Amino acid sequence: MPVNLNEANFKSEVLQSPAPVLVDFGAEWCAPCKRLDPILEQLSARWNGRVRVVRVVVDENSSLAMQMQVMSVPTLILFVNGSEALRLVGLQSQEKIEAKINAVVG
């Protein structure tokens, strides 16, 4: 299950993380976000620490979402060494997410 982050711990958990971090910006009311949940749980288990998967609930962290220029949910952003390396907007298939992430982190 992805860990929920907020504005207080985003910097330490994502921007300062030695491992790549995939951040799921979503919302409770978002149907595509809910469909993405089991996909992210499977990927998180498969990556087993190679890529961390975390979640930011945009309704509870609106200034963080604005800072990251998240315009719609779900938005997945991969951070590598504290910088955005990849952004996927909208519901994506497990295969597409995995292929895009693997292309960046190897």
Query: DSSP assignment, residue 14?
Result: I
CA angle 48, 79, 3 (to 5 degrees): 50
Catalytic site includes residue 30: yes
Q: How many residues does this entry show for the chain?
A: 106
Among 22, 33, 77, 85, the active-site one is 33
Instruction: Give percent helix, percent strand, percent coil of the chain, each to the nearest 5.
Output: 40, 25, 35
Among 5, 30, 58, 101, the active-site one is 30
CB-neighbour burial class of residue 105 (10 A; exposed 0-12, middle 13-18, buried 19+) = middle
Catalytic site includes residue 1: no
Which residues participate in catalysis according to the annotation? 30, 33
